[in-house]
Structure 1
Amino acid sequence: MADLNRSTVLVTGAGGRTGQIVYRKLKEKTDQYVARGLVRTDESKEKIGGADDVFVGDIRNADSIGPAIQGIDTLIILTSAVPRMKPGFDISKGGRPEFYYEDGAYPEQVDWIGQKNQIDAAKAAEVKQIVLVGSMGGTNPNHPLNSLGNGNILIWKRKAEQYLADSGIPYTIIRAGGLQDKDGGVRELLVGKDDELLQTDTKTITRADVAEVCIQALQFEEAKFKAFDLASKPEGTGTPTKDFKAMFSQITARF
């Protein structure tokens, strides 16, 4: 039976480094949210606690994600293709490492088809909002990330973002800067558009801060139908962001 006072939120990619934080934060807010996670393997499920609210499914296969999405109110998409370094690279000899994607796990399959499947399933389930975490750099087709493993990852991510923006579902698209594994909540967050922040010295963000913005986006109407770049000032400069309504209110870009 649906919980009338709490919102049921599914985090996909819940086994990833940012996804784990979002899932954990939702689980801590039991008065507001019923958390669910979607992971790709049983190993990932065990890694984040193995609870019954973690579903195992493959986003590339629309049928396999149906049970996780059934009955949710909102969806937070944190799935992403991951390039792997080719073995044999020796940093002491200089040169650059080479990267590859595993067969079937290229950005086209994960970041485009996989995200499209999630958006379609969420639309069929009549979700009220989708939060999608992407990456800065998508305005530049020649961005170095696109050349990793010849995956064109930012191009496919951008295509999925456009698909979401055109879906009619209330959305929040967060294009994160370079991700850091540091404490959240201690920096002033910066929002921008069209990769303008990449021209500055402030183009990184902690995974914990990205996770917090994902959850805050569920709480404010001002976050809906918005797309923005997200980074932060260095710790110790500026004032740590606490007023997320004000932050979302200053964003005007819909894509």
Structure 2
Amino acid sequence: MATATMRVSSSPFSAPPLRSPFRRVAPSRRAVSAAAAGGAPPTVLVTGAGGRTGQIVYKKLKERAGEFAARGLVRTQESKDKIGGGDNGVFIGDIRDPASFAAAVEGIDALVILTSAVPKMKPGFDPSKGGRPEFYFEDGSDPEQVDWIGQKNQIDAAKSIGVKQIVLVGSMGGTDLNHPLNKLGNGNILVWKRKAEQYLADSGLPYTIIRAGGLQDKDGGVRELIIGKDDEILKTETKTIARPDVAEVCIQALLFEEARFKAFDLASKPEGEGTPTTDFRSLFAQIATRF
């Protein structure tokens, strides 16, 4: 895999905008800020910003304030306090209720969706007695409500204001109805995630769908990233990826035309094997087909 120094192409946000477009930028390791080019940086909303991966995406966008104006959507005040309670860019809302997050979506240029239903372990499991734990989803927070209806609501809201791109983070395994993740709490979580992905692909909006492998709480930027299609990566030994790497791919997808209208699986080689990925344009260009 090519790992040349990253170059930034013209932004996918060059179409006539509702607010401010990404500007054409000169080749460099990092994008020249839209503000420096004479315009306001594009506003990017991260939903699920209180989650373990969402927090990283939001933080990375905040660190690139010259390139992006970051917003976050969380469900509770506790989550808001966790990522910056005094930050006016963090909104509280429920993705199942479009009216509750309308203010967060208003005026955005791009949307990064990191919301997901979370299974909970039933009480009483004792690992010393063997067997497997059982899981459940809280009422109203099952995959159908969160991963399908909640994501559909976000896509509809973004489309209604003419958003220029949506990056949606899903999961590998969606080609297998019998995948173990579908059995957790009998939630069919991958089924509902795939339905939302298809809805986004059919929406007409520019999209990037990232189906991440097993998420790991490790440092990012130190591994060679691997992309694929149709769960082929699951047949290999490289099925995992660090959360910061997923977060970085989300942001890089906003910068390159090669990432638009594409869905792909994402994992990485073990640390020390291969060369850490820095050329994201080449990474995205490997996927020629759409959904």
- Relative to the length of structure 1, the TM-score reads 0.99
1:40 matches 2:75: yes
Question: Superposition pairs for residues 62-211 of structure 1, below 5 Å?
Answer: 62-211=98-247
CA drift at 1:172: 0.1
1:17 matches 2:48: no
Structure 2 CA distance, aligned partners of 1:105 and 1:44?
17
Conservation of the 8 A alpha-carbon contact between 1:171 and 1:226? yes
Structure 2 CA distance, aligned partners of 1:42 and 1:75?
21
The letter of the residue matching 1:108 is E
The letter of the residue matching 1:177 is G
Counterpart secondary structure, 1:134? strand
Structure 1 CA distance, aligned partners of 2:136 and 2:70?
33
Mind listing any 5+ residue stretches in structure 1 that lack a counterpart?
none
Q: 1:233 aligns with which of 269, 282, 291?
A: 269
CA RMSD of aligned residues (A): 0.9
Structure 2 CA distance, aligned partners of 1:62 and 1:33?
24
The letter of the residue matching 2:67 is Q
Structure 2 CA distance, aligned partners of 1:123 and 1:135?
23
Counterpart secondary structure, 2:84? coil
Deviations 1:167-196 (A, max 9, x none): 000000000000000000000000000000
Deviations 1:67-89 (A, max 9, x none): 00000000000000000001111
- Relative to the length of structure 2, the TM-score reads 0.87
Structure 1 CA distance, aligned partners of 2:173 and 2:138?
23
Deviations 1:204-250 (A, max 9, x none): 00000000000000000000000000000000000000000000011
Larger Rg over CA atoms: 2
Return the structure number with greater relative CO, CA threshold 8 A, min gap 6: 2
Structure 1 CA distance, aligned partners of 2:40 and 2:143?
37
Conservation of the 8 A alpha-carbon contact between 1:193 and 1:253? no
Structure 2 CA distance, aligned partners of 1:101 and 1:5?
41
Q: Partner of 1:30 in structure 2?
A: 65
Mind listing any 5+ residue stretches in structure 2 that lack a counterpart?
1-18, 21-34
CA drift at 1:5: 3.5
Conservation of the 8 A alpha-carbon contact between 1:39 and 1:45? yes
Deviations 1:102-154 (A, max 9, x none): 00000000000000000000000100000000000000011010010010000
